């Protein structure tokens, strides 16, 4: 059982530290900002039009840009790692 928990935790940690930031980057959310012509740029445009010209703080575009610029927070990484460990324990 312990091996399933460890495998789940390692998978969760890898997802949090590599997988999610890489996927967000592929959408166009980069450290220097949102890349032109990407899905992220289209999302930002739609969000700005919907809110009358700005992008809402804490909205999906803002959160994805934060992840693209700085990665996930320590708390988010810990939560995903713990989730992976729990999933490993459940699947055992």
Helix (H/G/I), strand (E/B), else coil: 37: coil
pLDDT one-digit tens code per residue, 49-81: 999 988 989 999 999 999 999 988 888 888 888
What's the rounded Cα separation, in Å, for the pair 14 and 26? 17
pTM of the shown model: 0.76
Helix (H/G/I), strand (E/B), else coil: 67: helix
User: Dmax over Cα atoms in the chain, in whole Å?
Assistant: 53
Hey, where are the domains in the chain? Answer: 2-91
Count Cα neighbours of 21 within 13 Å in the Cβ-side half-sphere.
17
pLDDT one-digit tens code per residue, 13-57: 888 888 889 999 999 999 999 999 999 999 999 999 999 988 989
Residue 53 phi, psi (nearest 5) = 125, -15
């Amino acid at each position: 059982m312990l091996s399933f928990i460890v495998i789940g935790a390692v998978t969760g940690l890898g997802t949090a530290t590599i997988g999610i930031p890489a996927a967000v980057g592929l959408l166009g959310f980069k450290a220097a900002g949102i890349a032109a012509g990407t899905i992220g740029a289209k999302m930002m445009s739609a969000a700005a039009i919907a809110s009358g010209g700005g992008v809402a703080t804490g909205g999906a575009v803002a959160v994805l840009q934060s992840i693209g610029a700085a990665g996930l927070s320590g708390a988010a990484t810990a939560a995903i790692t713990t989730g992976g460990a729990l999933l490993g324990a459940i699947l055992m």
